[in-house]
Amino acid sequence: MTTIRKFVYAALLAATAMNFAPSLAAAQEPAHGKFTLKHNVNWGNAVVPAGDYEFAYDPYQSSPVLTLSKLSGKRAGFMLLVTNSEDSKPSDSNQLLLETTADGSYVSAMELAECGMTLHFSVPAHALKQMAKAVPPAAPSGQ
């Protein structure tokens, strides 16, 4: 009888410990915070105007979407598709990474060091625009 009691006690202790131990799936917590854009930026297919914003990202949603809510000026909201995410490096800081093209600035990544993640966004491929065309020199006239 004592052996059965010890076995049940050990099994109960193991089950309780498993419930309190953090799992790998719980490593990424939902992220939220605020930031300010100093100028308009392209973010995916949206043009996000300058202003103060609040953001939220839940890695457990079926479709990885970053939501933005404009807090200053005319209210606006955006849902932006996150193409992929990764753990941030200890040297990372909280920042938006921009790619500048002829069409303007595009957000390519959002580093959330405090949340331990970096979110990546698609930047459309842009065809190079022809700025000038070289014209061959005219043939000398027969003089």
Provide DSSP, 69-97: EE-SSS--EEEEE--EEEEPPTT--SEEE
pLDDT tens-digit map of 75-90:
999 999 999 999 987 7
- Residues for the chain: how many in total? 143
* Mean pLDDT, rounded, for 119-141: 62
* Mean pLDDT, rounded, for 51-75: 92
Q: Tell me how far apart the alpha carbons of residues 89 and 56 are, in angstroms, rounded to a whole number.
A: 20
Stronger pLDDT, 46 or 29, i.e. the higher one: 46
For the chain, percent of residues with pLDDT exceeding 70 = 68
Q: Which DSSP state fits 27?
A: G
Q: Tell me how far apart the alpha carbons of residues 76 and 6 are, in angstroms, rounded to a whole number.
A: 61
pLDDT band at 137 (very low <50, low <70, confident <90, very high): low
Please, are residues 59 and 85 in contact by the beta-carbon 8 Å criterion? yes
* Mean pLDDT, rounded, for 105-120: 91
**Tokens representing residue 8 in the block:** 């049940």
Nearest to 120 by CA among 89, 62, 81: 81
Please, are residues 70 and 43 in contact by the beta-carbon 8 Å criterion? no
* Mean pLDDT, rounded, for 112-132: 74
Q: Tell me how far apart the alpha carbons of residues 77 and 4 are, in angstroms, rounded to a whole number.
A: 60
